[in-house]
Chains A and B, each alone.
Chain A
């Protein structure tokens, strides 16, 4: 909420500067977001002064020549095209019109509108836009009308006191509806500074007509108070007086027409919406009722609404006139021909309003306040003020106040028991009784003693005070949070009993990857469905109902599209050596709309293996580079039962991809990105990707330590030739199986194809290190073991010894 400091000070005027005032508000829970000058883009300097039109002659239909007195002897001749230009008007005169004006309208008017005119304009009569006081003036063709009392020749900047006022922007928390008005904020300031509000009591006395309307409130609990008044023969086409426009402008409200302006004026000052209806269209009586199901109404914003039966409406005998506390209907809106109006100032119970505006896609200043709760006692003051303003500005005659109040249903504040003990426990600090009573009384609470503390009766405007804790917060708030000392914890020592102390932490995994050159990234959980379907075609995707954009509308099935996007982003920024990983959730759904999220570790490797180096060959990464990293990661578990099995994946190279198994459970996948996909995504270099399910790689084996043999070991190398399609892994497994009762270490140290090896075959060299725990193995024993192994390989894979 934005408000004018000067207006606020009409209500309460503590002897403190703006900065202190703002800090007081912030520290009492009404965060001041901004304090800005009210000069707007005011750009004219000494040039603009108060003047009076002493002569006004029409030249064409839209153009006048005026003689303007600006308090000096010489009277200026000024050409003006404003609609409201007339004799006797006090105006803002810029008498060096081509200088220092931010608006081009001025020069445009001078030249365009009267090219054949020979009169030289000695200045310009200014509009709000001309002065830079608003960018958004709906009455661009109106010059400013100053009050008659404005002293001739006075600088406008001084006259408007532009340097003595500030616009204060306050972030009012959702529970403090009582602070959505100048009067409410002033009340807070009065509490803090121990001052009294300067309340103006208005009772409109000049009742001239007897006209009333029958009013029937069908849902009394929804509308405990309905006040109305008829105003006849008023002129709604008068421009809004200068002072009102200026006050509204300083609260960031753009002046519209007089009806809207008075509505806004009262809304800002008192927080009470005044609904204004065109009397002529009201058929019969006013009825406050629930909407009929599917009842239709066109709202003032032109939106045709189909109402739900839970919506409270104000209607006449036939049609809806407004959605109670939210917005009026187009039909009942005041228009230029309106002469008679009905003012409404009602209290609606918030529970009958809340959520309704939102349902129709609306959020109005009225609904904002109505659904949070408006002081149920303010309606009288509001309607009297509205009557007075309309009467003074638009003329006409006012009828008597029509008051339909159900006193029993009007909220009168709550009664809350406040225990002395509760204050001490919750705050951990003792604020003495006198202070408690003083603080709460200043807030408008009525206190009576009881055996445990007090009975607190809350003020009518505080909808947020419901329970004892709320009252304690009020005490702390007004006492000052910063004045409550902080206190060290005095509790028994709690040991941090982690449920899984042995688990491999995600940080351990992160560190391993980081140490192996990977950069951790964090990406959004929603991705572009187009890219995702390229990587995971045909998969069912969990979609956001209300995404931010199409490119961020699908929950990710894997982290692939996110990481590949990061890859492309960096590749396009000349990064040659890209290793990235992310730990994050993937989201899966099925036909039954089951929603599942799994934490994944996903890594991408692309480009050069090393940055260019003076002594290392430049080469691109490949499958085995990444596999080595994955193996290292899995090695953290201490488990050896790890298996990579060829598996086809639509996004991966068909011959260079594998599923990863740990203890026969599929825990992830690794592979080179399919060159076709690479091309479609615009990836420039060979890229390898892996993903692992976090929960499957964080359970480590507890290592059981083997005794180290004291006897020398024996190494034998085996070189065999086998068919190309036999995976090395199976050869190793076969050896392990055969030698299972020996203490051996196997290592595959060479794979060779080419000269001496038939096409379609490969040579594989293994070293076998044999060691016994009890003795040195004899030569013939070793040979026998190796022969057994070779025999098995021959049988199983038709392996031959390489000659």
Chain B
């Protein structure tokens, strides 16, 4: 039977042939030779038809089909193998230099002043403070008088004011906003406001415009010791470390007691970072808050100073020169 159908030989030759093949077209040629319409297997099938239809024919037929299936499977395995290696070859020619820079543009940066304001506001918002804002053109009432700074007060000389007319000026401090808010909102109050303030200072280490952030809290039973806690905590959060801090008596017409906070800078020197105090009863009287029920704490932080300390900036004027080489560093 085997003699008639040479099956072993076919299988043997087929396996031997495809083993040495390494491209798809030759594999196809082999496939046609063995499994095609006129291929070896077809020939054997045709020969089968010549046999008498008996058990033997049935048995040979089964055997033939089995062999055919074997060949087909071997062919498929080889084909997948060749296809895979072909693709691999193709991909290996598509290697790129992944170290080249990508397309598009680099993002810009938020200005360090804005960034500092954001950091500070975020902290106080956690404490329930609400962000408010107010005008940069102020009148003498809000900027001075209501804050217990009557005309001729020595503090007015310190605040070298930019005047627009007899009554209007560019705000010299954020504190005027306290008055506006307390006149329109009843305590309890926790507000924070930041913005540009202006002072005409001839000193070359100052700029005629700078930024302050002002906080105010008016509630029952807030005290000087609370003020200390809030600001101590704030400073250690802001500078991301336990900074050495001291509280020092100072003078502001709109707070009593008044204090300034110094921290130790990198050179080991104390430098002032903020002013604060308990709201002066005169201010409460002006805005109609009952000082026998409420007490208030207020603080004002110089943004530039905080940013300089945090980012190791030594010249205040850099903030307003807007040199892109400076600004781009605020990643």
Contact of A524 among B129, B209, B258 (CB under 8 A): B209
Interface string of B216-259 (1 = CB under 8 A from A): 00010111111011101000000000000011111100001111
Query: What's the tally of chain A residues with a CB closer than 8 Å to chain B?
Result: 90
Task: Determine whether the beta carbon of B295 is less than 8 Å from that of A29.
Answer: no
Contact of B224 among A429, A470, A614 (CB under 8 A): A429
The residues of B that contact A72 with a CB separation of less than 8 Å are none
Interface string of B262-278 (1 = CB under 8 A from A): 00000000100000001
Task: Determine whether the beta carbon of A477 is less than 8 Å from that of B256.
Answer: no
Task: Determine whether the beta carbon of A566 is less than 8 Å from that of B225.
Answer: no
How far is A482 from B245 in the complex, measured between Cα atoms in Å? 9
How far in angstroms is the closest Cβ of chain A from B130?
A: 6
Known: A481-B259, A544-B164. A611 touches B105 (CB 8 A): yes
Comparing B23-31, B75-83, B147-155, the segment that makes contact with chain A is B147-155
The residues of B that contact A525 with a CB separation of less than 8 Å are 136, 170, 196, 198, 209
The residues of A that contact B251 with a CB separation of less than 8 Å are 29, 173-176
Tell me whether chain A's interface is mostly helix, strand or loop, or mixed.
Answer: loop
How far is A27 from B270 in the complex, measured between Cα atoms in Å? 12
Comparing B32-40, B48-56, B61-69, B317-325, the segment that makes contact with chain A is B317-325
How far is A274 from B86 in the complex, measured between Cα atoms in Å? 107
Contact of B249 among A477, A518, A521 (CB under 8 A): A477
Contact of A518 among B108, B170, B188 (CB under 8 A): B108
CB-based nearest A residue for B198? A525
Comparing A109-117, A570-578, A670-678, A775-783, the segment that makes contact with chain B is A570-578
Task: Determine whether the beta carbon of B280 is less than 8 Å from that of A469.
Answer: yes
Q: How many Cβ-Cβ contacts under 8 Å join chain A to chain B? A: 229
Contact of B223 among A425, A545, A616 (CB under 8 A): A425
Tell me if A26 is interfacial: C-beta within 8 Å of chain B.
yes
Task: Determine whether the beta carbon of B256 is less than 8 Å from that of A469.
Answer: yes
The residues of B that contact A593 with a CB separation of less than 8 Å are 165
Tell me if A507 is interfacial: C-beta within 8 Å of chain B.
yes
Task: Determine whether the beta carbon of B113 is less than 8 Å from that of A522.
Answer: yes
How far in angstroms is the closest Cβ of chain B from A34?
A: 11
Task: Determine whether the beta carbon of A566 is less than 8 Å from that of B322.
Answer: yes
The residues of B that contact A609 with a CB separation of less than 8 Å are 105
Task: Determine whether the beta carbon of B323 is less than 8 Å from that of A548.
Answer: no
The residues of B that contact A545 with a CB separation of less than 8 Å are 162-165
How far is A510 from B228 in the complex, measured between Cα atoms in Å? 34
Task: Determine whether the beta carbon of B152 is less than 8 Å from that of A595.
Answer: no
Tell me if A496 is interfacial: C-beta within 8 Å of chain B.
yes
Contact of A569 among B130, B154, B228, B321 (CB under 8 A): B321
Task: Determine whether the beta carbon of B327 is less than 8 Å from that of A519.
Answer: yes
Task: Determine whether the beta carbon of A481 is less than 8 Å from that of B278.
Answer: no
How far in angstroms is the closest Cβ of chain A from B208?
A: 5
How far is A422 from B304 in the complex, measured between Cα atoms in Å? 36
Task: Determine whether the beta carbon of B136 is less than 8 Å from that of A355.
Answer: no
How far is A31 from B262 in the complex, measured between Cα atoms in Å? 11
Task: Determine whether the beta carbon of B232 is less than 8 Å from that of A486.
Answer: yes
The residues of A that contact B127 with a CB separation of less than 8 Å are 489
Known: A371-B154, A484-B228. A521 touches B322 (CB 8 A): yes
Comparing A388-396, A579-587, A717-725, the segment that makes contact with chain B is A579-587
The residues of A that contact B224 with a CB separation of less than 8 Å are 426-429, 476, 484
Write 18 A-B pairs (CB below 8 A) sorted by A numbering.
A26-B270, A29-B248, A173-B251, A363-B157, A428-B224, A469-B281, A485-B225, A488-B229, A493-B128, A494-B128, A496-B128, A514-B109, A517-B106, A519-B324, A546-B162, A552-B208, A569-B322, A597-B135
Which are the 5 A-B pairs with shortest beta-carbon distances? A428-B223, A355-B152, A29-B249, A428-B225, A473-B257
Chain B positions near chain A (C-beta within 8 angstroms):
100-101, 103-111, 113-114, 118, 125, 127-131, 135-137, 151-155, 157-158, 162-165, 168, 170, 188, 190, 196, 198, 200, 202, 207-209, 219, 221-226, 228-230, 232, 246-251, 256-260, 270, 278, 280-281, 295, 319-325, 327-328
Given A544-B162, A548-B202; 9 other pairs, CB 8 A cutoff: A174-B154, A425-B223, A426-B278, A520-B114, A520-B327, A524-B320, A544-B170, A580-B108, A616-B103
